[in-house]
């Protein structure tokens, strides 16, 4: 009687550990993509502000050389 209960607890523990690892991987991917999107938005905003102030011509080469 003790062995089936022990097996159930072990399987439950492995299931919870696997679930937590999958959740951690999901959040890592989500944070990576959100940070990339935020960086690109900030970069584009900075480029538009520099073009509006006529600090650089509206080309990608001029922006990336600054």
Is residue 52 in a domain? Answer: yes
Is residue 10 in a domain? Answer: no
pLDDT at 66: 77
CB 47 within 8 A of CB 63: yes
Is residue 5 in a domain? Answer: no
**Structure confidence by residue, pLDDT tens digits, 41-51:** 999 999 999 88
Q: Look up the pTM and report it.
A: 0.66
Alpha-carbon distance of 4 to 52, in angstroms, equals: 71
Is residue 1 pLDDT above 60, yes or no?
A: no
**Structure confidence by residue, pLDDT tens digits, 8-65:** 999 999 999 999 999 999 999 999 999 999 999 999 999 999 889 988 888 888 877 8
CB 44 within 8 A of CB 60: no
pLDDT at 64: 78
Cβ neighbours of residue 62 closer than 8 Å, sequence gap 6 or more: 56
Is residue 20 in a domain? Answer: no
């Amino acid at each position: 009687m003790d062995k089936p209960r022990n097996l159930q607890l072990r399987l439950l523990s492995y299931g919870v550990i696997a679930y937590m690892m999958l959740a951690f991987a999901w959040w890592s991917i989500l944070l990576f993509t959100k940070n990339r999107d935020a960086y690109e938005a900030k970069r584009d905003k900075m480029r538009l502000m520099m073009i509006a102030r006529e600090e650089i011509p509206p080309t990608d080469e001029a922006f990336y050389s600054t």
